[in-house]
Structure 1
Amino acid sequence: MATTKETRLLCAQNSLEGLSVGDAFGERFFLHPDVAESLIVARAIPASPWYYTDDTQMALSIVRILQEYGEINQDRLVESFAKEYDSERGYGAAMHGLLTRIRDGEPWQKVASSLFGGQGSYGNGAAMRVAPIGAFFAEDLDLVVSQARSSAEVTHTHPEAIAGAIAVAVATAWAARLQGSMPSKQEFLNLVLPYVPESEVSSKIRLACDLSETIPVQSAATLLGNGTHVSAQDTVPFALWCAAHHLNNYEEALWLTVSGLGDRDTTCAIAGGIVAISTGVEGIPTAWVQARESLPKGQKNWL
């Protein structure tokens, strides 16, 4: 188990690597469903380069803040999100507005809580970027929960979004804690559940625990959601189900995840960030890493 800041940061970087490759891989399959499905069945590797999306752009900020402060400093994190905002990266409409307003000087607490008529966003954006937090704090699951919550609140204040972020972070932490062991899908998800607040997210993770081992991925996506509605509750349970099926095999986990279609860059980013902690970065196919556009200069040299 990683105990020094340097080793914990390396774990976070490894999760970021898996997240970013998964994000860019999934993004390449946003094609007509018939075309995407035929390519997935053929295991056709997409042509490079694979460009990453807002999932990775925001995860980069999270790892920078962990490196600088050793914890989630909410003010500095949201400043980084706003500074690094890139409208070409596929942010959701609500985040376009939120990050622009924060960049223009409005306090994040006011902006985030005002979204969607004051209920806050329950989009999947807090969950898609959070895996490195689970990797960084894996030795203390209560801290994983509190830090994941803090990272979500700056943009997503709805309880479902917070539950989704906590679920992904805890799953990543368990992947780190279980390195070298092979829990079943049900065992893995049952380790995550006690830390996830009662919510539609947790209800669907329970459902994922109970799905037959032989259920087709398309049926699982129908029951759990595949991110089509871009909500935490429609994204996180399916991504965790996919990761739990192939915790020791990054390539198989990503092919399974992308087979569910839906918000495939985000489901693949979530699954990739979890599974890479179990397999190590050496478990990510070298050709896939080379196909993904390079992360910003210096990101591999924080240590």
Structure 2
Amino acid sequence: MNSPAHKGDPAAARRSLEALALGDAFGERWFPLFRPPRQAYAEVRARRTPHEPVWHWTDDTAMALALQRVLDEYGVVEQDRLALYYALAFDADQARGYGHGMHILLPELLAAPGDWRTLAPGLFEGGSLGNGAAMRVAPLGARFHADLGRAAEQAALSAVVTHAHREGVAGAVAVAVAAALSVRGEFTLEAVAVRTPEGLVRDGVLRAAELPFATEPWKAADILGSGRRIRADDTVPFALWTAARHQGDLETALWATAEGFGDVDTTCAIAGGVVGAATGVEGVPAEWRVRCEPLR
């Protein structure tokens, strides 16, 4: 096990994790389970704070907590242990909104964590290209912000345990690099694209880089995608665009991201984790912090 000196910057990781959880819980408020679409749209446009006394987070945060636990213990992504912790998080509360693939994979990993090497690539004929690896990884990027290469490498290692498709991996790399750059005060979409593996995610980030920040978020979501297909390439570019558009202002970043709807808990988790890696959550309304389900 590595010494604390090799564990990066846990304080930056914690800032990102708290903001990711807040974004996740905030974004979840706008799903049809809680509000009809017309009502949700009106409330987001009016910047009306969700009224529920407790904002529960989803699998995005549950998985981010599992990843954080491994990094706190080992200082790096220890993949077999990570597979076990993902499986334990799923087993503890399967109603957090896990995708279909995770309902197949994670119960198997509970009994045999090392089997991720054969099981994850077998999901969906080549591995999952969903947004699950991207939604949980911002705190990892924040932790390793001093070394962008390490942030990208560790993000990829964390991704393949569940999302073995190259686009699923690329989504995780892009978000981790964005969070690292955010901590450094160097976050641009162009800089993220440079370190993102070639493919659809990278192409989407490059399109996002060309989209003026004057564009309305709902229109940006139409152009870039907002996770309606639950794919990394359909989720990451928009979430990073809103994060880049509102660096230094977590509250505004989350409202803008929510305007895109789609997989809104995940887009808000990604944007929150990236922006919050630098800002923390102190700048959002106090009632938001009180209402967000506490981290365990």
- Could you say which TM-score interval applies, normalised by the shorter chain? over 0.9
Moved over 2 A (4+): 3-7, 283-286
Counterpart position of 1:299: none
Match of 1:71 among 58, 69, 76: 76
Give the Cα–Cα distance (whole angstroms) in 1 for the partners of residues 146 and 170 of structure 2: 20
The range that moved more, 40-49 or 67-76, is 40-49
Counterpart position of 2:95: 88
Counterpart of 1:113, as a letter, is: P
Give the Cα–Cα distance (whole angstroms) in 2 for the partners of residues 216 and 84 of structure 1: 37
Q: Which runs of 5+ in 1 are unaligned?
A: 297-303
Q: TM-score, normalised by structure 2?
A: 0.93
CA deviations 1:233-260 (Å, max 9, x no partner) are 0000000000000011000000000000
Give the Cα–Cα distance (whole angstroms) in 2 for the partners of residues 5 and 256 of structure 1: 36
Q: Which runs of 5+ in 2 are unaligned?
A: none
Q: What's the offset of the Cα at 1:221?
A: 0.4
**Partner SS state of residue 126, structure 1:** helix
Contact 1:276 1:283 in 2 (8 A): no
Counterpart position of 1:239: 239
Counterpart position of 1:51: 56
Counterpart of 2:9, as a letter, is: R
CA deviations 1:201-255 (Å, max 9, x no partner) are 1111111111123222111101100000000000000000000000110000000
Give the Cα–Cα distance (whole angstroms) in 1 for the partners of residues 179 and 208 of structure 2: 17
1:151 pairs with 2:151: no
CA deviations 1:175-218 (Å, max 9, x no partner) are 0011xxxx7xxx71111111001111111111111112322211
Number of corresponding residues: 286
CA deviations 1:140-180 (Å, max 9, x no partner) are 000001000000010001010111000000000000011xx
Q: CA RMSD in A?
A: 1.5
Match of 1:40 among 15, 39, 44: 44
**Partner SS state of residue 233, structure 2:** coil
Counterpart position of 1:61: 66
Match of 1:175 among 182, 202, 216: 182
Counterpart position of 1:292: 292
What are the residue-to-residue correspondences of 1:66-215 with 2, within 5 Å? 66-85=71-90, 86-105=93-112, 107-117=115-125, 119-178=126-185, 188-215=188-215
Give the Cα–Cα distance (whole angstroms) in 1 for the partners of residues 13 and 218 of structure 2: 31
Give the Cα–Cα distance (whole angstroms) in 2 for the partners of residues 55 and 257 of structure 1: 16
The range that moved more, 103-112 or 66-75, is 103-112
CA deviations 1:100-128 (Å, max 9, x no partner) are 111133611111011112x1000000000
Contact 1:148 1:165 in 2 (8 A): yes
Give the Cα–Cα distance (whole angstroms) in 2 for the partners of residues 217 and 280 of structure 1: 23
Give the Cα–Cα distance (whole angstroms) in 2 for the partners of residues 62 and 286 of structure 1: 27
Give the Cα–Cα distance (whole angstroms) in 1 for the partners of residues 18 and 26 of structure 2: 12
Q: What's the offset of the Cα at 1:6?
A: 7.2
Give the Cα–Cα distance (whole angstroms) in 1 for the partners of residues 6 and 295 of structure 2: 22
Give the Cα–Cα distance (whole angstroms) in 2 for the partners of residues 80 and 6 of structure 1: 18
Give the Cα–Cα distance (whole angstroms) in 1 for the partners of residues 130 and 26 of structure 2: 21
Identity %: 48
The range that moved more, 251-260 or 38-47, is 38-47
